[in-house]
Structure 1
Amino acid sequence: MTRVHDMGGRFGDGPVAPEGEDAPVFEKDWHARALAVTLASGALGKWNIDVSRHARERLSPKDYTRFSYYEKWISGLADLLVETGVLTLEDLKGEGEDTPHPLAHKAMTAEAVPGVLAKGGPADRPSNVAPAFVVGQAVRTARPAANRLVDGGHTRLPAYAQGAVGRVLLMHGAHVLPDSNAHGLGEAPEPLYAVVFPATELWADAESPDDEVVLDLWQSYLEPV
């Protein structure tokens, strides 16, 4: 089942208006703080990037549509902090006990931030799943675009590309499967491909029919044509 967050390629949301080069990185000061506390909390090691993405995706549709970008981030983070036992609802309200936290020793220091950001979070892994496709091969994406492991779960296959036919452009090696990793089922690495689709394959009335869209898709999202 597709959630409201899956907005890619959807008609009627208006044009994307990029800001100018002189625009500030953060529109408001608290946006920077929201990003910082999200990264710092992730460093505690209680969840992975796929879990955090899923936390934002499962916000209620009413909240998701009315929240700004960083409101989504901070709301998803609040849910994760409580669900993993890092904080309680009382803590979030400022009513918790003022005692040292058991995870305080994992706190990210300001000096460590540049190195952590530079290192990133590589997701390539060895895998015993053999590649099923080769560069240039025609493939079709799964339909519907859904997590096959968890009902309503996280997936990186966008709804606008479900059931579409494309061509393998590049092989990325094996990478962590988000559909599994977001739900505590293990990393389950499998081959990842860059697949190119004609715009006319994705939309009935493509504004630029000669355009192509390249998506990075896991092997379990694909089938041979």
Structure 2
Amino acid sequence: MSRVHDMGGRYGDGAVDPSDSATFAQDWHARAMALTLAAGALGQWNIDVSRHAREALSPKDYSRFTYYEKWLAAMADMLVHQGVVTPEELSTGHATGVSDLASRALKADAVAGVLAKGSPYQRTDAEPAAFRPGDTVRTRRPARNVMVTGGHTRLPSYAAGMPGQVVLRHGAHVLPDANAHGQGESPEPLYAVAFSARDLWGDEASVQDEVILDLWQSYLEPA
């Protein structure tokens, strides 16, 4: 059974509307983004942990929540899980005391710098690259985390078991499958891999189209 968040390539969800270029469709969306940034600055989780938290929402909630509602629900779960707030504080909206993390509060004048800095995930210590541009590879099947049962992975199910061609080597990057679950960064070579749209979507796709995915070395094998 595919997980509810792994929606790529599904039929019946409607077309993407490229004309919707609004940064925030509603005012509270900007507030949700700000809260997420401020909570992340506390240093209690990384981006892979936060992605897994959104994916771990109950299927019923994931299906009915909007994009930023997913962000807020996952953030609430992480705040409680990490002991940053208690369930009582979360439900009442009032702190029972001064947090030990108060000194890490993200100030308004620091936001631009934090956003500009980002979170670089490129590393130098990793196993040697097994592939080079031009190599034909195949993704593993099924598309799942082989380190943690039910864990986070960046390999979408629509690309599982599919042949592709390496077009670029990005160097070594933190492996999300490990980093999302407290198992260290485990950096691996990362590749841009091109797939025929027809291989992925069938005869309805144009023979001229391709999809390029960034995939870690452990997701791939020689074809």
TM (normalized to structure 1)? 0.96
State the partner residue of 2:150.
152
From 169, 172, 175, the equivalent of 1:174 is: 172
State the partner residue of 2:91.
93
Q: Distance in 2 between matches of 1:72 and 1:178?
A: 20
Q: Distance in 2 between matches of 1:114 and 1:97?
A: 27
State the partner residue of 1:215.
213
State the partner residue of 1:17.
17
Q: Is the 8 A contact 1:2 1:146 kept in 2?
A: no
Secondary structure, aligned partner of 1:5? coil
- The C-alpha deviation readout for 1:80-134, integer Å capped at 9, x for no partner, is 0000000111011126554211101000000000000001111001123010011
Instruction: Give the partner amino acid of 2:218.
Output: S
Query: By how many angstroms is 1:29 displaced?
Result: 1.2
Segments of 5+ residues of structure 2 without an aligned counterpart are: none
State the partner residue of 2:191.
193
State the partner residue of 1:184.
182
Query: By how many angstroms is 1:10 displaced?
Result: 1.2
From 127, 131, 140, the equivalent of 1:133 is: 131
From 197, 201, 204, the equivalent of 2:202 is: 204
Name the Cα RMSD after superposition.
1.3
Q: Distance in 2 between matches of 1:193 and 1:79?
A: 33
Q: Is the 8 A contact 1:2 1:152 kept in 2?
A: no
Q: Is the 8 A contact 2:178 2:185 kept in 1?
A: yes
TM (normalized to structure 2)? 0.96
Segments of 5+ residues of structure 1 without an aligned counterpart are: none
Query: By how many angstroms is 1:69 displaced?
Result: 0.3
Of 11-20 and 77-86, the range deviating more from structure 2: 11-20
Aligned length: 223
Q: Is the 8 A contact 1:88 1:96 kept in 2?
A: no
Alignment of 1:45-84 (within 5 A): 45-84=43-82
Q: Is the 8 A contact 1:194 1:215 kept in 2?
A: yes
Secondary structure, aligned partner of 1:93? helix
Secondary structure, aligned partner of 1:193? strand
State the partner residue of 1:30.
28
Of 107-116 and 195-204, the range deviating more from structure 2: 195-204
Instruction: Give the partner amino acid of 1:62.
Output: K
Q: Distance in 1 between matches of 2:2 and 2:106?
A: 35
State the partner residue of 1:123.
121
Query: By how many angstroms is 1:188 displaced?
Result: 0.3
Structure 1 stretches (4+) deviating beyond 3 angstroms?
95-98
Q: Distance in 1 between matches of 2:178 and 2:93?
A: 36
Query: By how many angstroms is 1:205 displaced?
Result: 2.9
Q: Distance in 2 between matches of 1:88 and 1:19?
A: 42
Instruction: Give the partner amino acid of 2:151.
Output: G
